A and B are shown apart, each in its own frame.
Chain A
Amino acid sequence: MDKKEFDQYLLRKLTRRTLFKEVGYGIGGLALSSLLSDSLFASTIKEDQMAPKKPHFPAKAKSVIYLFMAGAPSQLDLFDPKPTLVKFDGQPCPDELLKGERFAFIKGVPKMLGSPFKFEACGQSGQMISEMLPHLKTVADDISVIRTMNTEQFNHAPGQIFMNTGFQIPGRPSMGSWMTYGLGTENRDLPGFVVLISGQNNPDGGKSCWGSGFLPTIFQGVEFRSKGDAVLYVTDPSGITREIKREELDALGDLNRMNLEKTQDPEIETRIAQYELAYRMQTSVPDLMDIAKETPETHAMYGTEPGKASFANNCLLARRLVERGVRFVQLYHRGWDHHGDNMSNDIKHGLPDLCGQTDKAATALLKDLKQRGLLDSTIVVWGGEFGRTPMKEGRAGVTFPGRDHHPHAYSMWVAGGGIKTGVSLGKTDELGYLPVEDPVNVHDLHATILHQMGLDHTHLTFHYQGRQFRLTDVAGVVLDKLVG
């Protein structure tokens, strides 16, 4: 090592963190610099953490739109056709499937439940899609279906939290938070991670699904509401016009600068900037939410109605958000929990209803992104927190066809952002009970999405409670069959 190399080595070595670790308690003569906290420890976040950051390696995609189908859609009736299951419809479930298994609601020996719906090989790829999703069938070649998703959780709240944070208990950062933590966001007049909700009610996992966990709260998902203020408090109070607000902010800025002069606290500069950003958001958010300006063709394609709270409106908003450079957009639509505990919540009535609420708009979103050239840089993900059993649930003797929660094998689809198209990844057994080829767990999916965004999931870490945490915990393999 020559002199220059040695200097560089030292420089590398002397990241503050290394210093921190290597200078022990009780070693005399600590220099001040050795105590400079790493941002990992810092109690106050001073720098602009939302500024765009470079990925670990060149990224294929810039944004993610995650259509979270809360409640868990039935893969066996939508994406994973099982003729054998249809054949054994009504037969008692084989013992070996029940042994050692825990179900949410199934008790005793249930009967098998074949899908009442027809499947068709669609497009060039021959992707199998159910008649329940007539719109999606038209874009079969633009999506790839993962048929062997599996998770560790079989109840909604932990399942959704696991799907979003890689851990079943609330308190870890969600994927969107990790993404904005790693990459920042391109539009500083809007939050980097936006959540839109439609359907029966909020997802079971609550705000933990888009929480920032131990990451600074600046990275948590911001819920854009469909009623009232889209972003809380984005509207000026009654009697305060834009003009007056500008006067207020000018005065506030001047006074804060006087104080900055006196105290020299850089935090004041940040605060001034944040107030200005808030002012700009008061224009950019209503502008974003105003979908009335979209063409009639667009409204017809999505099935949107301005002013109405719907999944369709949220899909259109998702496109508008991504168009404006928002990093991570997540839609929740709850209602897929088709246990068959009553008629409106069974496979024959409830499932078609939910498909009707979502199929057209989700398809329109793909088409729209594609025609605007945004699909290449936007990953679209569709799926729930787990799948549904090949057995009929029959809770308390009910007779409606319904399925219980099934964590071992379920289907999701992904599209855009450089992900291969037309792929059907993985195979499940004849009854759709277990994966038999290419099982994909939640961490693998996370690793793959991060990978397309230019992030190495093993290096996107945060130091907390004495160790480096990551979205994929200690697992996760990038799915080569999807990213090529």
Chain B
Amino acid sequence: MLKRTIFLATCGALAACLILPLMAGDAQKISFQEQILPLIKGRCQSCHKGDAPPAGLNLMSDTGWKKGSANGNVVKAGDSKNSVLVHRIMGLDGKAQMPMNFAPLLPEEIQRIKDWIDQGATYDAPRKHWAYVVPKRPALPSVKLKGWALNPIDSFVLARMEKDGLRPSPEASKETLIRRVSLDLIGLPPTIEEITGFVNDKSPNAYEKVVDRLLASPHYGERQARPWLDLSRYADSNGYEKDNNRVAWPYRDWLINAFNKNLPFDQFTVQQLAGDLLPHPTLDQRVATGFHRNTMKNEEGGVDQDEAFYEVLNDRVATTATVWLGTTMGCAKCHNHKYDPFTQKDYYRLYAFYSNSNVKAEGPASIGEEKYYEPSIPVPTPEAAAKLATLRQEVEALGKQFDAAKPAAVAMLADWEKLAGTESNWRTLSASQATADSGASVEAQPDSSYRVTGKNPEKDSYTVNATIPSGGLAGIRLEALSDGALPNGGPGRADNGNFVLTYISATLDGKAVPLMLASQDLFQDQWPASGALTQDINSGWAMLPGLGKNHQAVFQPLQPMQGSKLSVRLEFQSIYPRHTIGHFRLSVTEDADPALRMVPERIKTLLNKQRTEKESQELQAYYLSVAPALVDLNAKKMAAQKQLDDLTAQQPVALVMQEKPVPYPLAAWVHKRGEFLTKTELVYASTPASLPPMPKDLPRNRLGLAEWLVSPENPLTARVEVNRIWEQYFGRGIVETCEDFGTQGARPTHPELLDWLATEFTRTGWDMKKMNRLIVTSATYRQSSAATPELIEKDPQNLLLARGPRFRMEAEMIRDNALAVAGLLSPKIGGPSVYPDQPELVWNTPYNGQDWMPSKGEDRFRRGIYTFWKRSAPYPVFLVFDATSREYCTVRRIRTNTPLQALNLMNDTTYIEAAKGLAKQMIEHGLSYGFQLCTARQPSAQESERLQRLFEKTVQHYEAQPEEAKKLAGDATTSAWTVVANVLLNLDETLTKG
């Protein structure tokens, strides 16, 4: 209601400008193309389109309107009362109101159509929407107020103000200015020294010096990266149900670095969209492609992987269009865009650019656990890179040795084949003792097996001690036994009856038994028994396809050993919970080479028979993995490989884009109504037909698409980007709907300024620092943000910029600012995401044991952009201040003002800690110092007096109740200062960039 009152008042005040001309004979001629057709298209296109529309009436173009329906004209020029179209949309004549089965048109919409008919129902020629016309550099407008404008921005803004009889506000105080520009450029408040230095610097370019210092600061990149993290939907987890963590931060660091080194926006674009397709891409350029790897990943059991990946690609299309074209292309996924000139085919032509992503599905589809994977590359530190190179050489050398030794081994294959599949003489371990680390009960059974019952922890390890007969130890056999008491008949204790033996080790008379060979009768894909020879918990022996049956694995030392006291340790340390074994038996043999005798069922079928070429290869490959002559080499190779793998695994990885090699051109199916399963027509990669075409010399792939986006013919990209930059400073874009430059978006408040900025941006080689500098050094930006009642009435939202910007800081900045003011903020740039304090139980996701492990030391107080971003449970404090869960591209955060924000800032331990930090400084330097830290200015006498009063009241309280003081900050004085600091950190002025 409030808004309406203001509006009507404004309308009244400005009636002379707008309403009068309208009343004087309705001078406003209604445009068919701009005001009637889009309206009808939006409401009627599900039926009245195509070759055989209902009643023969096609309403999608002026041709159809002129032609009318099967029953004749629907529009009678000059006579809305007798036009059939009007009757039908009003539901007259006892016929169903159109659009049938949908909400009727609004009264004002019906009125508009009537007016157009009454005005003569003329059909104007279609006109291109302003945003699709390449911007031309406008001449500077002339202004009455001379000497105010500092750069061309100001001329445009001033001319617009003068049109409405407004005057610019005076320049903001130096204190306000340095705070504003520091927060804007680096996202941090100025220090007291910086403020004093600037106030005392009387040189004419004192302000420009500050600006240049800030632009050169390494924190500049952090501040500029923040909005791009929203645009690129950056997060540290995959999203959807499981929401597993991912390593994504190398892309975030790439962004920070790109801004700091002032990568021109055209290259910035090309590298993010297609860095991998540049000739000889650098590691850095490949990391940049993480932009589109920030899409969510659906890992829920039973999900159709092709469909899940289809949604990923759709997101890439929509995000590209939103970020660079300010276009709501997503609408055209299911149907032609209802308002803007983009067809469904245009959509899938864009989709085709992304359709060739190097993706593969892996995992057992048979149990609904298939997942898709896209590539990642390690991004090692320089030291690690050198070490990795050495290891790689080693692995390569061992590979050559292996190849050299291979023929001799192969020669033994025939002998082995005689041995393979023959039984060893096994003796079960009896009179032994077995325990589980967890305390689960391990009970010996009459058949010498063991059953594990009772406690069922997520991980466990068993130890079995026994005395073995003399004769030596040539092998150990582990039998995994089915058991009706176990889930699915066992042998495992996991919910599904499976287990993973992650490591087996043994000692004989206290000496380690070097188990080198392993074999088994059955294993789950990718989980062979040889995986249990190393301590790596990501490998081991498992048997999902063999549940409810008995199975065995044999482990063999390099040489038979002598001794009597055997101790075997079975470890179940997998990440899969409770994958321990529930019923097992151990045996030993003195017969040589038991692991060579024991072969998987599959291999058994290949023995001693006529084999096909493929079968021979399979058998040979198996033999080479167990051949005694190669054991040593295999072990060395495995160890070196493992070292290499381990070190590689420790290196951060970057998620990158990569193409599959395909014959060109790239193509994609049009999906009817966007449905994954309904494919209709094949289209080829191309840009939307209504925008300037791709130059012939550009490749028809992502690289070509990226270069087209930043080509001089593209009417949108530069406008869209400068508009977003503008919004960072003024809280509102010149086009308020930064995400939508289409016909349904907002109109620019300063169209000529927008075009001038866009052409200036390209003219200066897409130089982002230059653009930022231009804006912050303008007189427009430097104005005081204080308003007058008159200004509030005339321009409540400050659309015409007759005063400086004033709005609440964004989520991350509020926290960064408080920590900086308190002297707590860590200046560290980049690296893995951190886990600052957050209340318990914010994370509680299904099927995912991941926990918030609070960071220690300076990582508790890093800048907000480094906070771990969990999509299903984002950092709650940021959400409260309008950050999003980063599931999708967010162009604008709508600012709210809620009680939850107040609760957070008053009561969160982080802010109490910040208050203590601020209190400490005030105890040393006085109240004004603290006030200035928060607001950059000195408090007025009235303000000081009020805070002083608060201090005195609280100090009395804490002196009377020292135990309360102790709980807060120690002694009464420190506690009272903490209370004052808490108030200072909550001042509207502290939370606002003004």
Interface residues of A (CB under 8 A from B): 6, 9-10, 12-16, 18-26, 29, 31-37, 39, 41-48, 102-105, 107, 154-158, 169-171, 191, 200-208, 211, 216-218, 220, 222, 225, 227-229, 231-241, 243-245, 247-248, 251-252, 254-256, 258-260, 262-268, 270-272, 274-275, 277-279, 281-282, 334, 341-345, 395-399, 404-405, 456, 458-459, 463, 465-467, 474
Residues in A whose Cβ lies below 8 Å from that of B240 = 157-158, 204
Q: Considering the complex of A and B, which 4 residue pairs feature the smallest CB-CB distances, nearest first?
A: A104-B302, A239-B968, A206-B872, A31-B17
Q: Are B302 and A155 in contact (CB under 8 A)?
A: yes
Question: Residue among A169, A343, A459 with the most chain B CB within 10 A?
Answer: A169
Taking CB atoms and an 8 Å cut-off, the chain B residues in 20-46 that contact chain A are: 22-23, 28, 30-31, 34-35, 42, 46
Query: Is residue B205 within 8 Å, beta carbon to beta carbon, of the partner chain?
Result: no
Taking CB atoms and an 8 Å cut-off, the chain B residues in 724-769 that contact chain A are: 727, 731-732, 736-737, 739-740, 742-749, 751
Interchain CA distance A278-B785 in the complex, whole Å: 28
Query: Is residue B561 within 8 Å, beta carbon to beta carbon, of the partner chain?
Result: no
Answer whether A278 and B906 are a contact pair too, CB < 8 Å, given A105-B302, A232-B876, A258-B940.
yes
Q: Are A204 and B241 in contact (CB under 8 A)?
A: yes
From A102, which residue of chain B is reached at the shortest CB distance?
B304
Taking CB atoms and an 8 Å cut-off, the chain B residues in 794-847 that contact chain A are: 794-797, 799-800, 806-808, 839-841, 844-846
Least Cβ–Cβ distance between B991 and chain A, in angstroms:
8
Residues in B whose Cβ lies below 8 Å from that of A9 = 111
- Which range holds the interface residue count of chain B? 35 or more
Least Cβ–Cβ distance between B526 and chain A, in angstroms:
16
Q: Are B907 and A235 in contact (CB under 8 A)?
A: yes
Q: 12 A-B residue contacts at CB 8 Å?
A: A12-B107, A22-B30, A25-B751, A222-B900, A239-B975, A267-B806, A281-B899, A282-B903, A341-B496, A342-B497, A467-B744, A474-B102
Q: Are A43 and B895 in contact (CB under 8 A)?
A: yes
Residues in A whose Cβ lies below 8 Å from that of B34 = 24
Query: Is residue B300 within 8 Å, beta carbon to beta carbon, of the partner chain?
Result: yes
Query: Is residue B373 within 8 Å, beta carbon to beta carbon, of the partner chain?
Result: no
From A238, which residue of chain B is reached at the shortest CB distance?
B967
Q: Are B108 and A334 in contact (CB under 8 A)?
A: no
Q: Are A10 and B968 in contact (CB under 8 A)?
A: no
Residues in A whose Cβ lies below 8 Å from that of B747 = 20, 23-25, 35
From A463, which residue of chain B is reached at the shortest CB distance?
B744
Least Cβ–Cβ distance between B729 and chain A, in angstroms:
13
Q: Are B746 and A37 in contact (CB under 8 A)?
A: yes
Q: Are B330 and A202 in contact (CB under 8 A)?
A: no
From A272, which residue of chain B is reached at the shortest CB distance?
B988
Q: Are A244 and B957 in contact (CB under 8 A)?
A: yes
Query: Is residue B10 within 8 Å, beta carbon to beta carbon, of the partner chain?
Result: yes
Question: Residue among B11, B749, B792, B799 with the most chain A CB within 10 A?
Answer: B11
Residues in A whose Cβ lies below 8 Å from that of B748 = 25
Taking CB atoms and an 8 Å cut-off, the chain B residues in 199-222 that contact chain A are: none
Contact for A264 among B792, B876, B940, CB less than 8 A: B792
Taking CB atoms and an 8 Å cut-off, the chain B residues in 149-177 that contact chain A are: 163-164
Q: Are A278 and B885 in contact (CB under 8 A)?
A: no
Q: Are B872 and A342 in contact (CB under 8 A)?
A: no
Interchain CA distance A22-B949 in the complex, whole Å: 56
Contact for B908 among A233, A241, A342, CB less than 8 A: A233
Interchain CA distance A355-B80 in the complex, whole Å: 63
Q: Are B946 and A255 in contact (CB under 8 A)?
A: yes
Query: Is residue B954 within 8 Å, beta carbon to beta carbon, of the partner chain?
Result: yes
Contact for A278 among B103, B303, B899, CB less than 8 A: B899
Q: Are B740 and A465 in contact (CB under 8 A)?
A: yes
Q: Are A45 and B987 in contact (CB under 8 A)?
A: no
Interchain CA distance A208-B879 in the complex, whole Å: 12
Answer whether A217 and B879 are a contact pair too, CB < 8 Å, given A255-B947, A262-B786, A277-B899.
yes
Per-residue 0/1 for B5-23: is the Cβ within 8 Å of any A Cβ (1 yes, 0 no)? 0010011001001110011
Interchain CA distance A9-B300 in the complex, whole Å: 55
Q: Are B10 and A36 in contact (CB under 8 A)?
A: yes
Interchain CA distance A202-B949 in the complex, whole Å: 47
Interchain CA distance A10-B103 in the complex, whole Å: 23
Least Cβ–Cβ distance between A233 and chain B, in angstroms:
4
Interchain CA distance A202-B495 in the complex, whole Å: 20
Q: Are B339 and A232 in contact (CB under 8 A)?
A: no
From B840, which residue of chain A is reached at the shortest CB distance?
A228
Given contacts A234-B907, A398-B496, 10 further A-B contacts (CB under 8 A): A44-B731, A105-B302, A216-B882, A227-B840, A255-B983, A274-B897, A395-B367, A458-B103, A466-B328, A466-B340
Residues in B whose Cβ lies below 8 Å from that of A15 = 108
Least Cβ–Cβ distance between A20 and chain B, in angstroms:
7
Residues in B whose Cβ lies below 8 Å from that of A235 = 907
Interchain CA distance A251-B808 in the complex, whole Å: 20
Answer whether A263 and B786 are a contact pair too, CB < 8 Å, given A170-B887, A239-B975, A248-B906.
yes
Interchain CA distance A310-B292 in the complex, whole Å: 42
Contact for A467 among B107, B338, B966, CB less than 8 A: B338
Query: Is residue B789 within 8 Å, beta carbon to beta carbon, of the partner chain?
Result: yes
Q: Are A202 and B888 in contact (CB under 8 A)?
A: no
Residues in A whose Cβ lies below 8 Å from that of B497 = 342, 398
Answer whether A33 and B11 are a contact pair too, CB < 8 Å, given A232-B876, A466-B328.
yes
Query: Is residue B144 within 8 Å, beta carbon to beta carbon, of the partner chain?
Result: no
Residues in B whose Cβ lies below 8 Å from that of A171 = 887-888
Interchain CA distance A369-B311 in the complex, whole Å: 43
From B908, which residue of chain A is reached at the shortest CB distance?
A233
Contact for A37 among B751, B786, B799, CB less than 8 A: B799
Contact for B799 among A22, A32, A104, CB less than 8 A: A32
Q: Are A20 and B882 in contact (CB under 8 A)?
A: no
Answer whether A31 and B18 are a contact pair too, CB < 8 Å, given A233-B907, A397-B488.
yes
Interchain CA distance A411-B872 in the complex, whole Å: 28
Q: Are A217 and B872 in contact (CB under 8 A)?
A: no
Residues in B whose Cβ lies below 8 Å from that of A274 = 897-899, 901-902
Query: Is residue B469 within 8 Å, beta carbon to beta carbon, of the partner chain?
Result: no
Least Cβ–Cβ distance between A327 and chain B, in angstroms:
16
Interchain CA distance A279-B743 in the complex, whole Å: 44
Query: Is residue B666 within 8 Å, beta carbon to beta carbon, of the partner chain?
Result: no
Contact for B14 among A31, A47, A170, A201, CB less than 8 A: A31
From B327, which residue of chain A is reached at the shortest CB distance?
A466
Q: Are B967 and A466 in contact (CB under 8 A)?
A: no
Residues in B whose Cβ lies below 8 Å from that of A102 = 304
Residues in B whose Cβ lies below 8 Å from that of A279 = 902
Query: Is residue B53 within 8 Å, beta carbon to beta carbon, of the partner chain?
Result: no
Query: Is residue B470 within 8 Å, beta carbon to beta carbon, of the partner chain?
Result: no
From B894, which residue of chain A is reached at the shortest CB distance?
A216
Interchain CA distance A107-B365 in the complex, whole Å: 9
Interchain CA distance A6-B111 in the complex, whole Å: 12
Residues in A whose Cβ lies below 8 Å from that of B975 = 239
Least Cβ–Cβ distance between A98 and chain B, in angstroms:
16
Query: Is residue B422 within 8 Å, beta carbon to beta carbon, of the partner chain?
Result: no
Q: Are A247 and B10 in contact (CB under 8 A)?
A: no
Residues in B whose Cβ lies below 8 Å from that of A467 = 42, 328, 331, 338-339, 744
Residues in B whose Cβ lies below 8 Å from that of A265 = 785, 787, 806, 994
Q: Are A459 and B103 in contact (CB under 8 A)?
A: yes
Residues in A whose Cβ lies below 8 Å from that of B954 = 244, 247
Contact for A45 among B22, B894, B966, CB less than 8 A: B894
Query: Is residue B964 within 8 Å, beta carbon to beta carbon, of the partner chain?
Result: yes
Question: Residue among B792, B899, B969 with the most chain A CB within 10 A?
Answer: B899
Q: Are A170 and B302 in contact (CB under 8 A)?
A: no
